[in-house]
């Protein structure tokens, strides 16, 4: 059966069939502690009862009607996102890549309206990752993802992340947008400096360019605030989100200020499945659990606890080079390639994934317990000892 799936992923040799909370089980019944969370997607873990209940109830009520019509769940979700942000309008889609594509199109249209055809330059960051479609790939600052798909979209400039002087060198009146991740995920869990983001915001305002935050991985509670920008004190014009927004059900969204969103008019953009009642109902349930049951409020405490445990490993083992990231989007930097350690953890029933060249990414569900954090760190330590010999 595996031969019928396109060869686009280097998968672990396991077939999963069920999950509950932070645990997932393969077809042989082996239990794994999941600190990958579907790559920062399963913010409430697996098969959360509230999500399962919503899926069943909404599935019997209304699943899809298209965007030719309004639906109550889409409007309610838009209102929820707007009410908890500094933004005014939402576009719904199905994934992070689609959200980034929407942001790029919005920026190009905004630039044309503000400065004519010449105002089309989009600046992106070195070491970034924004998706695998041709537009999102074009603003992904890692050649390994781009090289086999050239030529890509033009009118782009790549600059060093966290270096405001490099941005000042290339930014001018023809810049329509700057896109960045507040924390670079695939690039190695590298956080932006708050002072840097503030200066980027100033430059975007100065040149009337949109500041686009890709919060696909770092948003929806993962940093201890609903939106990542709220943890840095810098308001972007556009936020691209997905992953945790649906807690495991596919949904993406772009949240924009009224000034930015006004560039779009009917016919400029669309998405057949975007904002369907089923996805929006699930997202509303996820947000309700995160916001009203104290889950987001506990993220920073759990983060400090996890960082303390990981820092203790650094004190004991030379292979550990440091802990980076914020909230429950953390990275353990190690000497050399982390694949052997990750594979050994997998054998021991702990799911982890890499980021960048030498970082082990740690992204448990946001409702993870301290006991489960203890277990994960214990397994990680055992794996490091066995790999190091």
Q: Is 35 annotated as a binding residue?
A: no
DSSP string, 108-177: HHHHHHHH-TT--EEEEEBT----SSHHHHHT-B-HHHHGGG-S--SSEEEE-TT-HHHHHHH--TTEEE
Q: Is 90 annotated as a binding residue?
A: no
Of 344, 325, 323, the C-alpha closest to 40 is: 325
Q: Is 102 annotated as a binding residue?
A: no
Q: Is 368 annotated as a binding residue?
A: no
Q: Is 375 annotated as a binding residue?
A: no
Q: Is 146 annotated as a binding residue?
A: no
DSSP type of residue 93 = E
Q: Is 216 annotated as a binding residue?
A: yes
- Residue 276, CB half-sphere, CA atoms under 13 Å: how many? 20
Q: Is 337 annotated as a binding residue?
A: no
Strand pairing category for 190-191 and 175-180: unpaired
* 3-state secondary structure at position 58: helix
CA-to-CA distance for 24 and 109, rounded, in angstroms?
Answer: 44
DSSP string, 287-308: HHHHHHSSTGGGHHHHHHHHHH
CA-to-CA distance for 281 and 14, rounded, in angstroms?
Answer: 31
Of 97, 109, 187, the C-alpha closest to 141 is: 187
What residues form DSSP beta bridges with 32? 24
* Terminal-residue alpha carbon distance, the chain: 37
Q: Is 131 annotated as a binding residue?
A: no
Q: Which residues sit in the known binding site?
A: 96-97, 129, 132, 214-217, 272
Q: Which residues sit in the known binding site for N(2)-acetyl-L-ornithine?
A: 132
Q: Which residues sit in the known binding site for pyridoxal 5'-phosphate?
A: 96-97, 129, 214-217, 272
């Amino acid at each position: 059966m595996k031969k019928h799936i396109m060869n686009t992923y280097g998968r672990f040799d396991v077939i999963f069939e069920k999950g509950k909370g932070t645990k997932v089980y393969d077809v042989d019944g082996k239990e794994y502690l999941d600190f990958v969370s579907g790559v920062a997607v399963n913010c409430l873990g697996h098969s959360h009862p509230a999500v399962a209940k919503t899926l069943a109830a909404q599935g019997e009520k209304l699943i899809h009607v298209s965007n030719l019509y309004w639906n109550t769940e889409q409007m309610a979700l838009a209102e929820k996102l707007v009410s908890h942000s500094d933004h005014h309008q939402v576009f719904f889609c199905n994934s992070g890549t689609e959200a980034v594509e929407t942001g790029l199109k919005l920026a190009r249209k905004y630039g044309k309206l503000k400065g004519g055809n010449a105002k089309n330059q989009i600046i992106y960051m070195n070491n970034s990752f924004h998706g695998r479609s041709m537009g999102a790939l074009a603003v992904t600052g890692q050649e390994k993802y781009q090289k086999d798909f050239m030529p890509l979209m033009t009118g782009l400039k790549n600059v060093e992340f966290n270096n405001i002087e490099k941005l000042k060198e290339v930014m001018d009146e023809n810049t329509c947008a700057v896109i960045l991740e507040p924390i670079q995920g695939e690039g190695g869990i590298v956080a932006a400096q708050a002072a840097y983001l503030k200066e980027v915001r100033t430059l975007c305002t100065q040149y009337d360019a949109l500041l686009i935050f890709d919060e696909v991985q770092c948003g929806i509670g993962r940093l201890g605030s609903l939106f990542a920008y709220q943890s840095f004190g810098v308001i972007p014009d556009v936020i691209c989100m997905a992953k945790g927004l649906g807690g495991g059900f596919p949904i993406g969204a772009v949240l924009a200020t009224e000034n930015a969103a006004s560039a779009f008019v009917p016919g400029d953009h669309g998405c057949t499945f975007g904002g369907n009642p089923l996805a929006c109902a699930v997202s509303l349930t996820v947000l309700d659990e995160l916001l009203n049951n104290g889950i987001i409020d506990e993220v920073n405490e759990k983060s400090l606890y996890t960082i303390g445990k990981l820092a203790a490993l650094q004190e004991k083992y030379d292979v550990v080079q440091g802990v980076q990231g914020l909230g429950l989007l953390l990275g353990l930097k190690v000497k050399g390639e982390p694949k052997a350690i990750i594979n050994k953890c997998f054998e021991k029933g702990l799911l982890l994934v890499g980021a960048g060249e030498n970082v082990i990414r740690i992204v448990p569900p946001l409702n993870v317990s301290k006991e489960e954090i203890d277990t994960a760190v214990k397994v990680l330590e055992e794996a490091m000892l066995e790999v190091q010999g």
